[in-house]
């Protein structure tokens, strides 16, 4: 009986052993199958099952070799995809069965772990950079809002002053009409009295009665003469007062024209809307008030300083038109000047400085007028011809004799240095950074921007936003503050 029991037990153990080997073979084949199609996660699941069936010292050699191959490529794929979610689990498994796995598995595991740490540090630094940029942007937005609030407050004050002046003017006009009506009535009354007096004198026929008549009507004559003198004086004073009010109104209008430079800050007046909303901010600062008054008073000329400024402005504008005609770039000089002016105002330059910058923008390419006009008819240029075109920055300095000495250095900087880049890659002097004056930097940005948004035969039209993005990608050439100012203006 005991022998039969032992035999049965041996049979059961032998069957279990064969069954276990069969299951192990199935999992080994599936692990190999998934490995060949590079599904390393599924291959790892099946090979891991064999570690549950066998201890490390009983693991078949075939299973050990396959496990090393699977985990080596599995870790490589995780590192390449930067998907580290299962790295901790894999690391624990390999360390648990360190006897089975080769040294190269442990080495690549360490490298992948280092990549993970480096990636975390990189992500953390990027997050900190983003937070810093967000904080800087928040500060810029806050400053811009404060600037707008301040501007709006100034405009409210100016609007209130304008409304008050307007009300005073309306009241004065009403008073003037009443006074004119009253003066006409008094004049009619005086004429009537004078006519009556004359009629009485004519009707008087007796010479003996002359003395009596004269003594009788002398007071009336005196009173009439005094009334006439009073009326004449009143009309003269009224004329002087009206003229003074006209001067004040012209001065107020000029003040408003100087204050309201940007479209969003224009005053609104229901009765005179067309007049106020179409002010042109880019006229030379010749005193409109004085100009109007000089016409009223028949003066023939303005003060010499204003004449000089106006003459310089007209010459710059004429040169700009000649440059555009020569280079076949319609209105480019004027567009450059206007944008340079607006950016300068945005960056807190005063009106006089901004107008000078506007004029430099008009003539920044004046050197082209000193070159052979045939160069601008060619579609392609040789290297020598291109160098000739580049020489316009030096040729332009020979053509600014009309600029007054006190302004000449500004024009020299703008004309000779507007092709310099911040990184020193420009021409002609290859200066960089703060060595480049502001006027040259702003013309460099504006000229590049206008070139980008202008239609070209060799490329599609670029929007304003795309043009600014292109400039931002090349901040090694362009001043970032000027690019930001341009972005705000457009």
In this structure, how many other beta carbons lie within 10 angstroms of the beta carbon of residue 397?
Answer: 16
Residue 386 belongs to domain with CATH number: 1.10.3210.10
Residues 382 and 337 in one domain: yes
Residues 215 and 327 in one domain: no
Q: Dihedral of CA 354/481/445/433: which sign?
A: positive
- DSSP states of 211-255: HHHHHHHHHHHHHHHHHHHHHHHHHHHHHHHHHHHHHHHHHHHHH
Q: How far apart are CA 434 and CA 484, in angstroms?
A: 18
CA 284 to chain centre: 23
Q: Is residue 329 included in any domain, yes or no?
A: yes
Q: How far apart are CA 253 and CA 290, in angstroms?
A: 12
Cα-based distances in Å from 347 to 126, 167, 189, 352: 31, 36, 66, 14
Q: Of 281, 296, 324, which residue constitutes the final position of a domain?
A: 281
Residues 199 and 338 in one domain: no
What pLDDT does residue 78 have?
A: 85
Q: Do residues 82 and 48 touch, judged by C-beta distance below 8 A?
A: no
What pLDDT does residue 194 have?
A: 65
Residues 318 and 250 in one domain: no
Residues 309 and 445 in one domain: yes
Range 289-296 contact pairs with CB under 8 angstroms and sequence separation of 24 or more: 289/247, 289/250, 289/251, 289/253, 289/254, 292/250, 293/247, 293/250, 296/243, 296/246
Q: Of 242, 266, 281, which residue constitutes the final position of a domain?
A: 281
pTM of the predicted model, to two decimals? 0.42
Q: Is residue 395 included in any domain, yes or no?
A: yes
Q: Is residue 417 included in any domain, yes or no?
A: yes
Q: How far apart are CA 442 and CA 414, in angstroms?
A: 9
Which residues contact residue 200 at a Cβ distance below 8 angstroms, ignoring those fewer than 6 apart? 213, 217
Residues 274 and 384 in one domain: no
Residues 350 and 208 in one domain: no
Per-residue pLDDT of the chain (490 residues; tens, 9 = 90+): 555 454 455 444 444 444 457 788 888 889 899 989 889 888 888 888 888 888 888 888 888 888 898 889 888 888 888 777 888 888 888 888 877 788 888 888 888 888 888 888 888 899 999 999 999 999 999 999 999 998 888 888 888 888 888 888 788 788 878 877 887 787 777 677 766 766 665 565 444 444 455 555 566 677 778 877 877 777 777 677 566 555 544 544 443 344 333 333 332 333 333 333 333 333 333 333 334 334 333 433 444 667 888 899 999 999 999 999 999 888 899 999 999 999 999 999 999 999 999 999 999 999 999 999 898 888 888 999 999 999 999 999 999 999 999 999 999 999 999 999 999 999 999 999 999 999 999 999 999 999 998 866 455 668 899 999 999 999 899 999 999 999 999 8
The position carrying tokens 């005053």 is 267
Residues 331 and 476 in one domain: yes
Cα-based distances in Å from 337 to 356, 415, 474: 10, 13, 23
Q: Of 248, 281, 314, which residue constitutes the final position of a domain?
A: 281
Q: Is residue 30 included in any domain, yes or no?
A: no
Residues 271 and 349 in one domain: no
The position carrying tokens 């362009």 is 478
Residues 311 and 351 in one domain: yes
Range 291-295 contact pairs with CB under 8 angstroms and sequence separation of 24 or more: 292/250, 293/247, 293/250
Q: Do residues 464 and 365 touch, judged by C-beta distance below 8 A?
A: no
Q: How far apart are CA 288 and CA 309, in angstroms?
A: 14
Residue 275 corresponds to which tokens in the numbers above? Answer: 């007049």
Q: Is residue 399 included in any domain, yes or no?
A: yes
Residues 467 and 334 in one domain: yes
Q: Is residue 136 included in any domain, yes or no?
A: no
Residues 334 and 461 in one domain: yes
Which residues contact residue 63 at a Cβ distance below 8 angstroms, ignoring those fewer than 6 apart? 24, 28, 47, 50, 54
**Residue numbers of the domain that contains 268:** 154-281
Q: Is residue 392 included in any domain, yes or no?
A: yes
Helix (H) or strand (E) segment spanning residue 79: helix 61-81
Q: Is residue 21 included in any domain, yes or no?
A: no
Q: Do residues 287 and 251 touch, judged by C-beta distance below 8 A?
A: no
Max CA pair span of the chain: 193
Counting the structural domains of the chain, the total is 2
Q: How far apart are CA 268 and CA 361, in angstroms?
A: 31
The count of C-alpha atoms lying within 13 angstroms of the C-alpha of 102, restricted to the half-sphere facing its C-beta, is 13
């Amino acid at each position: 009986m005991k022998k039969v029991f032992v035999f049965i037990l041996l049979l059961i153990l032998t069957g279990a052993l064969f069954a276990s080997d069969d299951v192990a073979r199935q999992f080994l084949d599936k692990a190999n199958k998934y490995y060949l199609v590079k599904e390393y996660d599924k291959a790892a699941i099946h090979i891991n099952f064999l570690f549950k069936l066998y201890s490390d010292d009983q693991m078949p050699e075939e299973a050990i070799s396959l496990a090393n191959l699977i985990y080596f490529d599995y870790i490589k794929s995780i590192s390449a995809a930067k998907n580290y979610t299962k790295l901790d689990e894999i690391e624990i498994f390999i360390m648990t069965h360190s006897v089975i796995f080769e040294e190269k598995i442990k080495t690549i595991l360490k490298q992948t772990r280092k990549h993970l740490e480096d990636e975390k540090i990189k992500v953390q630094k990027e997050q900190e950079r983003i937070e810093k940029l967000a904080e800087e942007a928040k500060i810029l937005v806050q400053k811009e809002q404060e600037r707008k609030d301040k501007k709006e407050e100034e405009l409210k004050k100016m609007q209130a002053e304008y409304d008050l002046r307007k009300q005073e003017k309306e009241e004065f006009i009403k008073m003037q009409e009443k006074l004119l009506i009253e003066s006409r009535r008094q004049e009619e009354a005086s004429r009537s009295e004078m006519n009556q007096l004359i009629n009485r004198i004519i009707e008087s026929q007796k010479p003996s009665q002359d003395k009596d008549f004269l003594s009788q009507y002398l007071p009336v004559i005196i009173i009439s003469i005094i009334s006439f003198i009073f009326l004449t004086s009143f009309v003269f004073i009224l004329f002087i007062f009206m003229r003074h009010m006209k001067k004040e109104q012209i001065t107020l209008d000029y003040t408003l024209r100087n204050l309201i430079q940007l479209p969003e800050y224009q005053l609104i007046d229901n009765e005179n809307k067309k007049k106020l909303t179409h002010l042109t901010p880019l006229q030379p600062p010749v005193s409109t008030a004085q100009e109007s008054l000089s016409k009223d008073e028949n003066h023939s000329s303005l003060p010499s300083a204003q004449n000089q400024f106006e003459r310089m402005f007209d010459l710059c504008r004429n040169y700009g038109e000649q440059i555009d005609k020569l280079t076949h770039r319609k209105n480019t000089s004027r567009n450059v000047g206007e944008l340079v002016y607006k950016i300068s105002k945005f960056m807190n330059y005063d009106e006089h400085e901004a107008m000078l910058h506007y004029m430099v923008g008009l003539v920044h390419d004046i050197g082209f007028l000193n070159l052979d006009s045939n160069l601008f008819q060619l579609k392609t240029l040789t290297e020598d011809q291109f160098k000739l075109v580049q020489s316009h920055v030096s040729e332009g300095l020979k053509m600014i004799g009309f600029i007054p000495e006190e302004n000449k250095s500004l024009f020299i900087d703008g004309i000779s240095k507007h092709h310099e880049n911040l990184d020193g890659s420009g021409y002609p002097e290859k200066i960089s950074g703060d060595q480049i004056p502001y006027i040259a930097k702003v013309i460099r940005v504006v000229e590049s921007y206008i070139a980008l948004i202008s239609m070209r035969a060799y490329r599609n039209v670029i929007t304003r936003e795309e043009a600014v993005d292109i400039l931002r990608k090349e901040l090694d050439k362009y001043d970032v503050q000027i690019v930001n100012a341009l972005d705000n203006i457009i």
